[in-house]
């Protein structure tokens, strides 16, 4: 038999000294249990919420470091990290909305959010309306003072890439007593800071540019107001939603190179978008930085640059032509999600996706994410792809 003191020694490790040790990375702090120094502090642990540590689910110093970075980049009040970009949006909606409330969602919002509204919010008794983000009169005619609690938008819109007037939409929401929220994933806080335009809450998929390497899923929510932040922190405890410190550590690492990556992919995407517009026509390339794109004036007013994601529209009557063109890609991979070091193409159809804004139902929308490969090789690949879509190669 082993002695009981050996058993205990296996469990109670000596603490290594941190004296003289200093390094750059934020340590990965893992915890379910948080240990309290005495009975009194355990009894009153509720007073540590929402910023402090009381249970691992609500975050460790690794989570808080990432939250603090997002808060500083957005010049916000507080941020919360959640398991995905989708969770960032849905937990905001589940916290702000209750039965009988009304929510307005922009027509070009990330499609899973519209599905969540139909399949989760409506059965809970929340009234959902879709508005045209490029038509402020449409928003004014649908917003209901005292009943509309939230106006949700995304700039630029998913796939179709229109940039809405976030400043005016937030003002219209506030006049009616509603909150304004937006999905800022395309821009990241480096290219747009919606809180400065009057938006109350910003959601982002850190899965994309912050993670930056196609290997993690995380989302962030950044608040202009402390009370809404505290309410959401509590709601996440109710729902039992938390994140892994390992994922937060990867996101903190991704963040360190994000500015450089964004400048690079934004530069390459801008160059490619203009060249492609010259090749196939300006109406076939959807990218906020292109003159004449829908909402280009708001992009110029509110954004400091463009990221690496744009859309090519192609009339493809025969699926085999599309498949052959996609299969002929060398440098670009086929896949959803984006914002990583690897360049991607994802074909989509917007048929049946939009309630208000006209789309070309029989055209294929090819979402292109520029990565970090050689720009010359990428250009040869995409130019060949566009020619192959046209049926000749």
Ligand X SMILES: *Cc1c(COP(=O)(O)O)cnc(C)c1O
Q: Would you count residue 85 as binding ligand X (CB under 6 A)?
A: yes
Both tokens of residue 271? Answer: 């160059």
> Smallest distance, Å, CB 232 to ligand X?
17
- Which of 194-202, 203-211, 311-319, 382-390 is the region at the interface with ligand X (rule: CB under 6 A)? 203-211
Give the integer Cα–Cα distance in Å for 243 and 261. Answer: 25
Helix, strand or coil for residue 370? coil
Both tokens of residue 288? Answer: 């906020």
Q: Which of 185, 214, 293, 343 binds ligand X (CB under 6 A)?
A: 185
Both tokens of residue 140? Answer: 């004014």
Give the integer Cα–Cα distance in Å for 212 and 323. Answer: 27
Residues 102-141 that bind ligand X (CB under 6 A): 110
Q: Would you count residue 214 as binding ligand X (CB under 6 A)?
A: no
Q: Which of 183, 200, 247, 302 binds ligand X (CB under 6 A)?
A: 183
The answer to whether 307 touches 299, Cβ cutoff 8 Å, is: no
Report how many residues bind ligand X under the rule CB under 6 A.
Answer: 14
The answer to whether 259 touches 266, Cβ cutoff 8 Å, is: no
Q: Would you count residue 221 as binding ligand X (CB under 6 A)?
A: no
Helix, strand or coil for residue 368? strand
- Which of 11-19, 80-88, 253-261, 291-299 is the region at the interface with ligand X (rule: CB under 6 A)? 80-88
- Which of 17-25, 145-153, 204-212, 220-228 is the region at the interface with ligand X (rule: CB under 6 A)? 204-212
**Residue 152 bridge partners (DSSP):** 105, 181
Q: Which residue is nearest to ligand X (CB)?
A: 85
Q: Would you count residue 50 as binding ligand X (CB under 6 A)?
A: no
Residues 283-342 that bind ligand X (CB under 6 A): 337
Residue 362 has, within 13 A of its CA and on its CB side, a CA count of 4
> Smallest distance, Å, CB 222 to ligand X?
14
Q: Which positions ≥6 away from 250 have C-beta within 8 Å?
A: 211, 213, 215, 216
| Site for ligand X, rule CB under 6 A | 84-86, 110, 154, 158, 183, 185, 205, 207-208, 217, 219, 337
């Amino acid at each position: 038999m082993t002695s009981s003191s050996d058993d205990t020694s296996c469990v109670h490790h000596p603490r290594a000294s941190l004296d003289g040790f200093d390094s750059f990375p934020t340590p990965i702090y893992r915890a379910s249990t948080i240990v309290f120094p005495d009975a009194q502090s355990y009894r009153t642990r509720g007073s540590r919420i929402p910023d402090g540590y009381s249970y691992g689910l609500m975050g460790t110093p690794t989570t808080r470091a990432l939250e603090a970075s997002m808060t500083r980049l957005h010049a916000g009040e507080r941020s919360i990290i959640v398991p995905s970009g989708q969770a960032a949006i849905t937990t905001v909606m589940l916290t702000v909305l209750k039965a009988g409330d009304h929510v307005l969602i922009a027509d070009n919002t990330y499609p899973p959010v519209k599905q969540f509204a139909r399949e989760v919010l409506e059965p809970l008794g929340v009234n959902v309306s879709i508005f045209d983000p490029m038509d402020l009169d449409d928003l004014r005619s649908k917003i209901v003072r005292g009943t509309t609690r939230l106006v949700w938008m995304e700039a630029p819109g998913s796939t179709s890439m229109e940039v809405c007037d976030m400043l005016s939409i937030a003002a219209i929401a506030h006049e009616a007593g509603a909150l304004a929220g937006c999905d800022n994933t395309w821009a990241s806080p480096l290219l747009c800071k919606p809180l400065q335009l009057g938006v109350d809450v910003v959601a982002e998929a850190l899965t994309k540019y912050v993670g930056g390497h196609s290997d993690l899923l995380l989302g962030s929510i950044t608040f202009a107001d402390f009370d809404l932040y505290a309410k959401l922190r509590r709601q996440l405890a109710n729902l039992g939603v938390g994140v892994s410190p390992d994922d937060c550590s990867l996101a903190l690492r991704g963040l360190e190179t994000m500015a450089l990556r964004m400048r690079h992919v934004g530069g390459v995407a801008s160059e490619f978008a203009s060249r492609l517009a010259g090749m196939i026509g300006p109406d076939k390339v959807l990218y906020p930085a292109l003159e004449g794109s829908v909402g280009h004036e708001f992009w110029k007013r509110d954004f400091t640059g463009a990221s690496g994601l744009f859309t090519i529209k192609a009339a493809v009557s025969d699926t085999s032509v599309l498949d052959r063109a996609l299969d002929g890609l060398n440098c670009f991979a086929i896949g959803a999600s984006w914002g990583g070091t690897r360049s991607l193409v994802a074909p989509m159809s917007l048929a049946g996706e939009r309630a208000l804004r006209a789309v070309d139902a029989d055209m294929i929308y090819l979402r292109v994410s520029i990565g970090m490969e050689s720009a010359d090789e990428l250009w040869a690949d995409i130019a060949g792809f566009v020619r192959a879509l046209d049926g000749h190669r």
